[in-house]
């Protein structure tokens, strides 16, 4: 089979890239190892419960995501966060501490000590650092906002978004806007205030999903792509051919493509780059993705004491708990639990404790039940219990990440027709993957147009 572009990996990144290319009339094929496309983005109905195996929310500020939702006809299924979401919760001394969602929440609640709050507010008085050395999120935020705020707020947030640790991740890769604000204004809070005065939105974003969960997005993309998707195909090797690339899929045969987009997890990308660009293969291979387990539990409403009036909770590492955080799915969106029931999801493993995620399912369920019993007063046998294990969870944007992704971008320049996309470039969120996918599709189109012009010129030359 010969195509314009072969896309390896049918997660959100690969599907969105393929969709954008197909819309421009290009012949594409998406090769996906699993039997179902979507990668991390899978929603599962369990009776009248709905479990999200991976992502559960989309950032409403992302134009790439909202544009695609409209384009795919998903807007009438869109659900915004429920009115029950009143607070954010963090664990303090073994109990949930509720903080109101406004920007002043941390200043007005007693979650941080008075000294911690004063230190946080003093940020704009502190000298700035402009030496350009990358720092960890922990070092940067402790320097600017103090250790208490960083350990009790930022680190749990990093565990929630990246399944990572603030002490390991690069601030330039994870929070580039904070670094830029310090550079430009000498202070993050002053910079935010100035930007706000200039009309920018304050951080904090609205979140949404669809009535059948995030899985609606890959389903709609797959429906548009139709026969262009081939599932159950594990690509083994990518080689350069005389007219582009040869993609070897073992017993499933091989595919010839003028351009190739590698949209797999970084360790798989590393295997494909081996032999095409060794430096980029090494860079991709260095991106860690620790194991993660998602434990979904459904209870009768009267089995749970807590009002569940928030998104869920995050856990500072110093609390010494085994759970990293949780979401109150049935509060967040309608249709996540049957009448009279609630759905909660616990997240285990990640960079804090990858071995924990590898425990047998029964142990993980028992662990989640214990954590939910301690923290939200969940009692008795759950109505449903399900575990999703991700052997390689989320990519860790550790110190050196910017250099690694620069090396991958260089590989695209050195090897015309080769493109790399995925959740380790511009952020792990679905919306960041979509934004990167749009840029990848644009670059692939540019490359095909250039080659079309080259071929046309050759024909014209021969005809003269
Ligand atoms: C538990 C969890 C919770 C999350 N929560 C959120 C959230 O609430 N909001 C949010 O915005 N984001 C969230 N994310 C992040 C987001 O879901 C992911 O970053 C995103 O879906 C990744 O998409 P991707 O296509 O880049 O990669 P993937 O989804 O990993 O897709 C890569 C694909 O490549 C395929 N593949 C691998 N090897 C081969 C091969 N040899 N041949 C062919 N195909 C191959 C894989 O099977 C897979 O389908 C979460 C992620 C996880 C794991």
Same domain, 326 and 370: yes
Asked, for residue 354, whether it belongs to a domain, the answer is: yes
Judged by DSSP in three states, 453 sits in: helix
Question: How many angstroms does the Cα of residue 41 sit away from the middle of ligand 1?
Answer: 6
Same domain, 277 and 419: yes
Instruction: Tell which phi-psi region holds residue 74, choosing left (phi > 0), alpha (psi between -120 and 50) or beta.
Output: alpha
Q: So what's the pLDDT on residue 325?
A: 98
Same domain, 294 and 380: yes
Nearest-CA residue for ligand 1 atom 1 is 54
Q: So what's the pLDDT on residue 104?
A: 77
Asked, for residue 426, whether it belongs to a domain, the answer is: yes
Question: H-type helices in 122-254, by residue range?
Answer: 137-145, 147-149, 155-162, 171-174, 176-185, 188-197, 216-225
Q: So what's the pLDDT on residue 204?
A: 57
Q: In the chain, which stretches have pLDDT less than 70?
A: 102-103, 130, 201-205, 455-464
Mark which of 365, 390, 415 sits at the end of a domain: 390
Instruction: Check if 264 has its Cβ closer than 6 Å to any atom of ligand 1.
Output: yes
Instruction: Check if 428 has its Cβ closer than 6 Å to any atom of ligand 1.
Output: yes
Same domain, 237 and 165: no
Spell 174-195 as b/e; 16+ CB within 10 A means b: bbeebbebbeebebbbbbbeeb
Q: Which residue bears the tokens 């709609």?
A: 220
Q: What are the backbone angles phi and psi of residue 262, rounded to the nearest 5°? A: -95, 115
Task: List pLDDT tens digits, range 46-84.
Answer: 999 999 999 999 999 889 999 999 999 999 999 999 889
Asked, for residue 34, whether it belongs to a domain, the answer is: yes
Same domain, 146 and 280: no
Same domain, 218 and 306: no
Asked, for residue 244, whether it belongs to a domain, the answer is: yes
Asked, for residue 72, whether it belongs to a domain, the answer is: no
Asked, for residue 432, whether it belongs to a domain, the answer is: yes
Q: So what's the pLDDT on residue 456?
A: 60
Number of domains in the chain: 3
Same domain, 368 and 435: no
Instruction: Check if 52 has its Cβ closer than 6 Å to any atom of ligand 1.
Output: no
Asked, for residue 62, whether it belongs to a domain, the answer is: no
**Which CATH number fits the domain that encloses residue 332?**
3.90.660.20
Q: So what's the pLDDT on residue 344?
A: 98
Same domain, 279 and 404: yes
**Which CATH number fits the domain that encloses residue 424?**
3.50.50.60
Is-contact 16 303, C-beta < 8 A? Answer: no
Return the best residue to mutate from 15, 50, 55 for the ligand 1 pocket (most ligand atoms within 8 A of CB). 55
Q: So what's the pLDDT on residue 462?
A: 62
Q: Which atom of ligand 1 is nearest the CA belonging to 53? A: 1
Q: So what's the pLDDT on residue 199?
A: 75
Return the best residue to mutate from 30, 34, 57, 264 for the ligand 1 pocket (most ligand atoms within 8 A of CB). 264
CB atoms within 10 A of CB 83: 8
What is the Rg, in whole angstroms, of the alpha carbon atoms belonging to the chain?
23
Nearest-CA residue for ligand 1 atom 53 is 54
Mark which of 338, 359, 390 sits at the end of a domain: 390
Is-contact 414 134, C-beta < 8 A? Answer: no
Q: Which domain holds residue 326?
A: 78-84+290-390
Same domain, 125 and 244: no
Same domain, 323 and 379: yes
Mark which of 197, 226, 255 sits at the end of a domain: 197
Is-contact 134 399, C-beta < 8 A? Answer: yes
Q: Which residue bears the tokens 């295997």?
A: 271
Q: So what's the pLDDT on residue 457?
A: 62
Asked, for residue 91, whether it belongs to a domain, the answer is: no
**Alpha-carbon dihedral of residues 323, 151, 102, 295, nearest 10 degrees?**
-10
Q: Which atom of ligand 1 is nearest the CA belonging to 12? A: 25
Tokens encoding 176: 């580039």
Distance CA(441)–CA(447), nearest Å, equals 10
Same domain, 127 and 171: yes
Instruction: Check if 350 has its Cβ closer than 6 Å to any atom of ligand 1.
Output: no
**Which CATH number fits the domain that encloses residue 168?**
1.10.3110.10
432: closest CA among 34, 161, 85, 202? 161
Distance CA(126)–CA(178), nearest Å, equals 15
Same domain, 192 and 274: no
């Amino acid at each position: 089979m010969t195509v314009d572009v072969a896309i390896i990996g049918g997660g959100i990144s690969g599907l969105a890239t393929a969709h954008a290319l197909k819309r421009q009339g290009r012949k594409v094929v998406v090769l996906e190892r699993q039997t179902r496309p979507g990668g991390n983005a899978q929603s599962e109905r369990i009776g009248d419960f709905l479990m999200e195996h991976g992502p559960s929310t989309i950032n409403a500020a992302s134009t790439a995501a909202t544009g695609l939702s409209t384009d795919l006809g998903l807007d009438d299924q869109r659900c915004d966060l429920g009115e029950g979401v009143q607070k954010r919760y963090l664990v303090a001394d073994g109990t949930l501490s509720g903080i109101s969602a406004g920007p002043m929440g941390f200043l007005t609640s007693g979650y941080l000590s008075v000294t911690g709050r004063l230190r946080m507010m003093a940020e704009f008085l502190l000298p700035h650092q402009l030496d350009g050395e990358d720092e960890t999120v922990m070092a940067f935020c402790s320097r600017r906002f103090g250790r208490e705020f960083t350990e009790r707020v930022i680190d749990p947030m990093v565990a929630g978004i990246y399944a990572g640790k603030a002490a390991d991740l690069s601030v330039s890769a994870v929070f580039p806007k904070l670094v830029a604000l310090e550079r430009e204004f000498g202070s993050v809070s002053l910079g935010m205030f100035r930007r706000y005065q200039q009309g920018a939105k304050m951080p904090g974003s609205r979140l949404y999903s669809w009535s059948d969960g995030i899985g609606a997005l890959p389903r709609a993309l797959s429906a548009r792509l139709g026969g262009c998707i081939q599932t159950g195909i594990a690509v083994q090797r990518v080689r350069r051919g005389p007219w582009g690339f040869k993609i070897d899929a073992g017993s499933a045969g091989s595919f010839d493509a003028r351009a190739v987009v590698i949209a797999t997890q970084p360790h798989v990308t590393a295997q494909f780059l081996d032999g095409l660009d060794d430096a980029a293969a090494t860079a991709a291979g260095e991106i860690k993705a620790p194991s993660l387990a998602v434990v979904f539990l459904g209870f009768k409403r009267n089995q749970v004491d807590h009002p569940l009036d928030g998104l869920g909770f995050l856990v500072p590492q110093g609390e010494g708990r085994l759970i990293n955080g949780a979401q109150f799915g049935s509060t967040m969106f309608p249709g996540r639990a049957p009448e009279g029931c609630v759905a909660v999801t616990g997240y285990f493993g990640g960079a804090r404790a990858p071995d924990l995620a590898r425990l047998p399912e029964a142990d993980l369920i028992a662990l989640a039940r214990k954590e939910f019993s301690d923290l939200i007063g969940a009692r008795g046998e759950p109505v449903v219990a399900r575990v999703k294990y991700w052997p390689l969870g989320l990519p860790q944007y550790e110190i050196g990440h910017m250099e690694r992704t620069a090396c991958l971008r260089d590989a695209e320049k050195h090897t015309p027709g080769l493109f790399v996309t995925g959740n380790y470039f511009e952020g792990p969120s679905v919306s960041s993957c979509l934004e990167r996918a749009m840029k990848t599709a644009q670059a692939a189109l540019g490359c095909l147009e250039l080659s079309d012009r080259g071929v046309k010129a050759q024909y014209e030359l021969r005809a003269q």
